[in-house]
Amino acid sequence: MAGLKSGTADLHRRLERRLAGAERFIVRERYVEHLARLATFYGPAEANWASYLYPVLNDFDARRKFALLLRDLLYLGGDARAAAELPPVSDSAAALGAFYVLEGATLGGQHLLTVVERKLGLDAAHGASYLASYGAEVRMMWARFGQQVEAHCRDQAAIVRAVNAARATFAALEDCLCEVSA
C-alpha cells in the first residue's frame, strides 16, 4: 500500500485539485453530471476487472459501486452514458492497483457526503448512496482492502504492475471526470 500511495501521490493530488474547484458537489445539476461520469467509469471497471479481483478480494461484491451510482442517478433523474476508456489490466496485481483508485474514493466520499447533505439536501437513502457506500465501516473496508493488496502484491514486479495500473487509472478517471464540460 505504501508503494501505491507514494507511486500515485502526484496524480492523486492533481485530481483532487481539479475536483475541488468545481461546483459539482453544491449545484444539483453538476452533481448529477459527476455521478453520470463516474457511472461510465465504474460500470466497465467493475465488469472488466472482476475476473482478476474475485480471486483476491473475497468481498468484491460488497465493494462494487456501479449499482449505487445507478440508484443515485435514478433518484436524481440522471442517466448513465457510454462507457469510459479504461486502462487495461492483465493480472490480479494490476487489477488491485487499478481498483485502489476506486476504493480510495470511498475515503473522500465521507467528506463529500457531508457537503452534499448540507448543500443539496441529499443523504445515503436519497441520491448519495455512492458517497455513503460503506457508511461507518469505511475505515475497516479500507484496511481490509490494504491487507489484500499487501498479501497479493508482495514482490517488486507485482508492486510495479499495481502502481503502473493505479497511475493509468488515475489518469483515465481524471480524463473522464474533468473534460471541458465537467
**Buried/exposed 75-102: b ≥16 CB within 10 Å, e otherwise:** bbebebeeebebbebeebbbbbbbbbbb
User: What predicted TM-score, i.e. pTM, was given to this entire model?
Assistant: 0.93
Backbone angles phi and psi of 108, in degrees to 5 = -65, -30
H helical segments located in 64-91: 66-76
Digit-coded pLDDT (tens) for 154-163: 999 999 999 9
DSSP string, 108-155: HHHHHHHHHHHHH--BTTBB-TTTTTTGGGHHHHHHHHHHHHHHH--S
Q: Do 179 and 30 form a contact (C-beta atoms < 8 A)?
A: no
Per-residue pLDDT 10s for the chain (182 aa) are: 999 999 999 999 999 888 886 688 999 999 999 999 999 999 999 999 999 999 999 999 999 999 999 999 999 999 878 888 899 999 999 999 999 999 999 988 888 999 999 999 999 999 999 999 999 999 999 999 999 999 999 999 999 999 999 999 999 999 999 875 44
Backbone angles phi and psi of 91, in degrees to 5 = -160, 175
